Structure 1
Amino acid sequence: MPGDLEGSIEPKRDDDLLGLGPISAIMTVATSLLASLRGISFTRIFSPWPPKSTSAQPEKLRPTAYLDGLRGFAAFLVYWHHHELWAHVPVQLVALESSFGFEGLHYFAALPFVRNFFHGGHFAVAVFFVISGYVLSAKPISLIHAGDQAKLAENLGSALFRRWLRLYIPIICTTFIYMTIVHAFGIWVDGLKPKANYFQAAWDWYAEIKNFSFIFHTGKVGWLSYNFHLWSIPTEFKGSIVIYTSLLAFSRCTKNARLWCEAGLVFYFLYIVDGWFCALFASGMLLNDLEQLAAKDELPAFFDRFRPYKKAIFPAMLAIAIFLGGCPAHQADVYELRKNPGWYLLSFLKPQAVFDVKWFFLFWASVLLVASTPHISWLKRFFETRFCQYLGRISFSLYLVHGPVLWTVGDRLYAAVGWPKDSRFLNIPQWVNAFPLPKTGPLGLEIAFLVPHLILLPLTLYLAEVVTRAFDEPSVRFPQWLYRTATPSSRPVRLPA
């Protein structure tokens, strides 16, 4: 998912203006575009090694670096979950997406707590949304606390101006390249209908992208044919709008009134209407507000009564989060959930408004995880490790590329090692059982499943690194430049009456 932490801080301005003649304006745009890509070369983009820091001293982690690591680790869980579901046969999928003992199926991968490492993709997406709500609101909330309404208006205006470009530029670029490669080389992809010619494929791609990128449609827009994993990006943009408008609406409220309004939004989205994703964003905003108040020792008096129990509260929150994060997801219906051992009584907690029952429990799981992590030292340190920080840096690109790699290279490798699928026998028979491997081992950790990742994981991480350099990082810089260019260098001293 996008690295929202960088986008939460306003960039320095320059004196670029658009009040120039047509030729000068075009030259200015071209020059600034090139400037936004400075330091980018084919060598750097395609180098297999992460960029080295220019400083001789190790880079100091910022206070919220653990959120980068948490987002990166969550992106890896999405990668792993999708591969588990793609490789295994239907009866195994039921076991992976259900609780331990469902319909007499007893697998290690389905055990409580353990199942998050095999089935954690849904949990990860919920965590993405809470983190986004947290980091998108970080700078505006600090300005609200400071009472700086003019800078708040500037910050929210800049953020809203840049957000669509930040999210959709990498999507447009990567799906176009994937579409072109699939058509140019005649690559068969399961579920992807071949087109008569390239122009037809390009037109269909354009028609899908333009509809996909418009979040205010009145009908249902289908998933992208060239990357259906990206269903969460329009949801991300909708949640961003919720954050920006809510912060503006609550900016003049008193502290307690603002907190009540934020909590009321969470309750409305989760219990009154089926707006689980908005509840996740709003909860991230509420958590950030509370954390900033706690740092200044300005929390409402209500929280004082919990201070003596902090050492017990946060580990308990983490344990609840990990258990609820393994909510069975085989069916959306609450009656199906009740058939899963350990979830019968919990199923009665689901509000009437929520259609897909898993998102109610994943809401609480993700909120409790994000809230408890900074207060559990060993967990925070884990997400601050170089491995998790690296995953956090490439998390959005990893989310973008892991599907295309899975559907092209992965599908063929799984066919080669002996995973059965009718479509493979029909369309890529030359790959089927080319290098059969034994399927011995626990479900989800079979030899025939793990060995292909000796190729798939490095390839996916490499392509994620390339996409980060080529599209993700420029998609942060270019909207910043565009906003600076489209607005005057002087800032308003106060809000208009």
Structure 2
Amino acid sequence: MSARPNQRNIKWVEGLRGVTSALVIVTHISRAFDYPLFWPSDNDHDAPRLLQLPYLRLPWQGRIGVPIFAFLTGFVCAYKPLKLAYQQGNAPAALKSVARSAFRRPPRLILPALIATFISFVLSVLGGYKAANRCDSFWVRFDAPDDIPFGENIKRLFGSALSTWTNTENQYDRHQWAMRPLLIGAFQVYIVLAATIGMRFKYRILVHVLLITYWWMNVNALTETFGAMLALGTLIAELAQHRPTQNFISSHQRLLTFVVAPLLLLLGGFVGSYPAEHEDWMGWSRILHHWIVDPVGDRSRGSVIVPKGSDVYRRTSAFFIMCTATSLFIAPVLQQLLSHRLLIWLGHHSFAVYLVHGTILRTVGIWIVYGITGEPWEPAGKNEDGSPREQVWLKPKGRPAKMIAILVFTTLTYIAAWAWMKYVDTACARATQWLENKVFDDEDGEGKAGLAEKGYAQLPNGNGNGAVPRLHEGERTQPPP
């Protein structure tokens, strides 16, 4: 049976977004309460725990959430304009869709991020991060804003609101570091769409492949996390509109679903399991290091997967995302699994989860494990005999407290995400829509206000330069070419 691109199931995109938001939560839980999960074992002479084994370690060790969001950004930003241009044959409508999407993207990201930053600022002023500043988890201490006087807190608020979008630094919510590159990445997609909208299919595909290759071979920071993933999303959105590609997938569904996709997932999952530290502690991680990171043994060169000079941990995770995205594209059964209504609900709330989970973890989650007051506390300094006194950080209450904290934190996060989408995100969407209606002309063409600005229309209130002038014989209705 031939595939119909216009009837393709793309609900899996929302489901994948929901899974990704859950992955972000679990990796930050492991960072806060069980950091050795990022290692291949707890030390160099003990056997690994179950969750430290290859494949099973993927959700906990992190590094895959943001690249998936980048891939989804590339796919979602490209899908509708491509559908307008190549299924409905309406390139002008596609370009207008790109223009409106480009206009909506900044306020739809910036407004919610500002509100989340302000909430964290209020908690900082009220002393909500005192326990987080004093706990024995370095990652939590680094993420939590320091306790400073109110006036300096005000200055830091305005500074963070700006620096989030200039250098990715937000001291009230460091998880917002990805917002700026995702915003820039969306515009990267819009530029590519506008530049290639009139090309023939094979040349557009060539552009996407060249962009993926360029970003992959570029060893600057985060090129594999954003540039390559965005281009991959645009490529798959393009192929999702291509009838011959969909017919090929339908004709070879068994082979692709039960052979090719599992092999890709096995290969990508093994590479993506590369540990964040201490890769020399386990045999499997030593083998992986030799294969893809240091094949010669003298650090003189890398590999195709991890070029020399690139970020090893992000490269391995990005390779896993590439294999996973390709598997999802060629295996409709995986798309159906991700189209479950629970995953779609999680996906609908994913942006809210991303914005609120860090604040809840550093307050309520840490309060349960370390106490609300942050006491007893004695700052580092000198002992009575003049000897230096090292800082002693607060210790956790125990494993039961951590389990309770994880349960309460996860529940509160999704309740807060639901409320955020119902009230905050809805208000931001209305504000963005109002602004879009004010800025853009009518959907069906240039409206009266747009014509009046050019001096060709009479506004209802009588302002303007009068009605459109009558043409004299021989005059053009349009400017000459």
Q: TM-score, normalised by structure 1?
A: 0.72
Take 2:80 and 2:49, find their aligned partners in 1: how far apart are those partners?
A: 45
1:457 is aligned to 410
Within the alignment, does 1:346 sit opposite 2:287 as a pair? Answer: no
Which residue does the alignment assign to 2:37? 96
Does 2:22 match 1:76?
Answer: yes
1:137 aligned counterpart, secondary structure: helix
Greater alpha carbon shift after TM alignment, 458-467 vs 368-377: 368-377
Partner in structure 2 of residue 137 of structure 1: 78
Ranges in structure 1 where 5+ consecutive residues have no aligned partner = 1-60, 215-220, 418-422, 440-446
Which residue of structure 1 aligns with residue 155 of structure 2? 203
Contact 1:102 1:341 in 2 (8 A): no
Decide which of 273, 276, 293 is 1:329's aligned counterpart: 276
Gaps of 5+ in 2: 1-6, 134-140, 294-301, 380-392, 447-477
Matches within 5 A, 1:4-403: 63-88=9-34, 93=35, 95-99=36-40, 103-105=44-46, 106-119=48-61, 121-145=62-86, 146-185=88-127, 187-188=129-130, 189-190=132-133, 191=141, 192-197=145-150, 199-214=151-166, 221=167, 223-274=169-220, 275-276=223-224, 277-293=226-242, 296-297=243-244, 309-311=255-257, 312-330=259-277, 340-344=285-289, 345-347=291-293, 348-349=302-303, 350-352=305-307, 355-373=310-328, 375-376=330-331, 379-403=334-358
Flag the 1:251–1:62 CA change in 2: closer, same or farther, 3 A: closer
Determine if contact 2:160/2:172 at 8 Å carries over to the other structure: no
Query: Secondary structure in 1 aligned to 2:288?
Result: coil
Q: Cα 1:432–1:298, aligned 2, differ >3 Å: closer, same or farther?
A: closer
AA aligned to 1:203 is: K
TM-superposed CA distance for 1:321, in Å, is: 3.1
Deviations for 1:206-257, whole angstroms, at most 9, x for unmatched residues?
A: 122112224xxxxxx2521100011111111111011000111111111111
- Tell me the CA shift for residue 386 of structure 1: 3.0
Whole-Å Cα distance in 2 between the matches of residues 66 and 362 of structure 1?
21
Percent of residue pairs identical: 21
Q: Is the 8 A contact 1:169 1:471 kept in 2?
A: no
How far 1:342 sits from its partner (Å)? 3.6
Tell me the equivalent position of 2:423: 470
User: Which residue of 1 is the match for residue 437 of structure 2?
Assistant: 484
| Aligned twin of 1:41 | none
CA contact (8 A) 2:67 2:229 kept: yes
Deviation for aligned residue 1:65: 1.4
Distance 1:471 1:325, change over 3 A: farther
Change (3 A) 1:222 1:314: closer
Deviation at 1:341, TM superposition (A): 3.0
Q: 1:111 to 1:186 in 2, by over 3 A?
A: closer
Compared with structure 1, are the counterparts of its residues 256 and 100 closer, same or farther at alpha carbon in structure 2 (3 Å cutoff)? farther
User: Is the CA contact (8 Å cut-off) linking 1:123 and 1:326 kept in structure 2?
Assistant: no
**Shift in Å, 1:374:** 5.0
Give the CA deviation at 1:337.
11
> Structure 1 residue 313: deviation in Å?
0.9
Alpha-carbon contact 2:366-2:405 (below 8 Å) kept: no
Instruction: Give the count of matched residue pairs.
Output: 403
Helix, strand or coil at the partner of 1:450: helix
**What is the aligned partner in structure 2 of residue 17 from structure 1?**
none
Larger RCO of the pair (alpha carbons < 8 Å, separation 6+): 1
Measure how far apart 1:186 and its partner are. 5.8
What CA RMSD, in Å, does the superposition of the two structures yield over aligned residues? 3.5
Q: Is the 8 A contact 1:162 1:483 kept in 2?
A: yes
Q: Does 1:426 align with 2:377?
A: yes
Matched residue type, 1:193: D
Larger radius of gyration: 2
Which deviates more, 314-323 or 149-158?
A: 314-323
Amino acid at match of 2:239: L
TM-score, reference length from structure 2: 0.75
Cα 1:425–1:283 change in 2 (3 A) is: farther
Cα deviation per residue 1:464-487 (whole Å; 9 max; x = unaligned)?
112222222333343233112212
CA contact (8 A) 1:402 1:460 kept: yes
Question: Does residue 1:405 correspond to 2:360, yes or no?
Answer: yes
Larger mean CA deviation between 357-366 and 152-161 belongs to: 357-366
SS at match of 1:113: coil
| 8 Å CA contact retained: 1:126, 1:280 | yes
1:425/1:342 CA distance change after superposition, 3 Å:
farther
CA contact (8 A) 1:98 1:329 kept: yes
Whether contact under 8 Å (1:416, 1:432) holds in the other structure is: no
Contact 2:253 2:331 in 1 (8 A): no
Deviates more, 1:233-242 or 1:447-456: 447-456
- Deviation digits for residues 149-186 of structure 1 (CA, Å, limit 9, x no counterpart): 21122111101111111111111011112201320356
- Displacement of 1:148 in angstroms is 2.0
